[in-house]
Structure 1
């Protein structure tokens, strides 16, 4: 019994311990729960901030060129050379155009030295060069240097011109990126050198240029004013030399159809024009120039050919020349006013007087009298037999009238 009681007591003690331990466990849980609610644990919140670098602002090529410090601009352009060269193909505005826009001559020099063409310009640049004298001089000088380089390399005055290589000339034009304006400007330079410079070029160089594959593609775009000027140069030279050679003039006329010329020459003193006004310049009639030199012709067919050329060069709607030469249909419609020679109306006294005016302009020191001149051109003495032209006088007259100048000179 005692053992059973002892076992029961032990069992109750164990049961009590279990109950107490459970109670304390619950108490701890409850206490912990209350403690969590009253004092919640604080956690650290981590925020990630992404720092963005400020974008690098790269100035445009135009902004670089427009900058105040040209030396610094040139350094930046050198660093971005690929972009600058790519811009050269921009038909709206190349680097050269931008330098002209902001009048940056140092930058222009840098670009030209590095192979940019002074001929490839947009309309804005051409207009600015037209009114800005400093820029005009600068760009014309750059173009002239290239012209001289080509002319000195591919043409030697007095040398064997047949040795000029068309392929080499064509390549030079391509390398310099002449374009149609460059071809036209170089052609104009050659033509002015032929007639206006102390060491003239020959027509061969002009023909060689126009004949290149490069410039031949652009000749249809040459301006009518330029071609008219070139034709005028050659026509005056042929007048001075007695109209001996027609082929080069025809080549010039073939560049564009329906080109007319106006030949204005200094009057060399006071001159009464056809309106009775005093003028310092004379508008000369191409037909009158040809008729004055008629005694120089030995071939009638060649003269007829020249007359067709002269007539085609007259602007029928333009101002009348100071001393016009008229044909039958222009003299009040009266054919008999031309006398026996109705083809060219050379016996009309008004026409002979116009030729006399031109003759005295060209030969002011001549001893030929007005009456002798008239009798020579009409073919008979006008009034008295003493005005007749004798063989010796005629020889002197022809030598003077038909002399050939040593070079083309205006």
Structure 2
């Protein structure tokens, strides 16, 4: 225990618990049928001999020794497990299909030599995660088309042998980042405290005891609203609903891999999430302010390229131009609807001089964000 004196001048001591090693090792026993007061055989710190012997002359019998053992150059497991998890994240399936189970109940690797090489290279490069991800995403295997042919279905229906790319919906945090980055709203600051973005009223309050600093949800403002999804604050069992619907964890338990579902609620989130609507409004205003006299076709082409990272086809442009024209006519006939539509989010409004035009372009961009291709890696 450590003791501190209150800065306000209060001389009473405040005790704070800290973690540390005990002076003596507390004995641990196998419990008879798990009964806490029925100890049987005493057990000692150790690791599976089949992986790597826990040499007491090299590794101290404590947490530090266990960490040194796990990252030892002779340990064949740690690098393989981590490489396999990153491979599954990038390719949709691990080289060992059971990502959470490398034991004797798990699957054998589909490409054992590749897994060995990647693990050894990752270890020898100083456990450089960024380097490993770059290796994977720049590979010819990753850059394959996801188009499925009859030959694929006949010879590799589950894509175990990586005959094609796998279509993977982006994780919840990435969907937020995609909208913010493509609209120019993303705050690229690295590190710092978590942030609380837009959230429906009352969600925290109905699950709270009514006490403490987290009893009520206090939304952040300014540039903090536009930080990456990884910095969004998650209260245990009450994650942001827009992320929960896209299969983010509620932190009830440790999850090695997330589920990937496809539900109507996800479409409702993309249609109504303030982040998506605000990104659409900001990008429309930015395009109109930058090129106020540009033709609708040029504006749509630019937005399409920023959101989907490719050029639109002629058929796609024709369809989007037609939709833009219909929306422009509707908003010109109802200026109040146009003003209400663009009145979303806290980001400053760009002065475009034509609310109906901005609302129509915003509707087109909103439609682009709602394409399956936008939130699916193909």
Give the TM interval when normalised to the shorter protein: under 0.3
Whichever structure has more helix as a proportion of its residues is: 1
TM-score by length of 1: 0.25
Asked which structure has the greater CA Rg, the reply is 1
Determine which structure has greater relative contact order: mean sequence separation of CA pairs < 8 Å that are 6+ residues apart, divided by chain length: 2
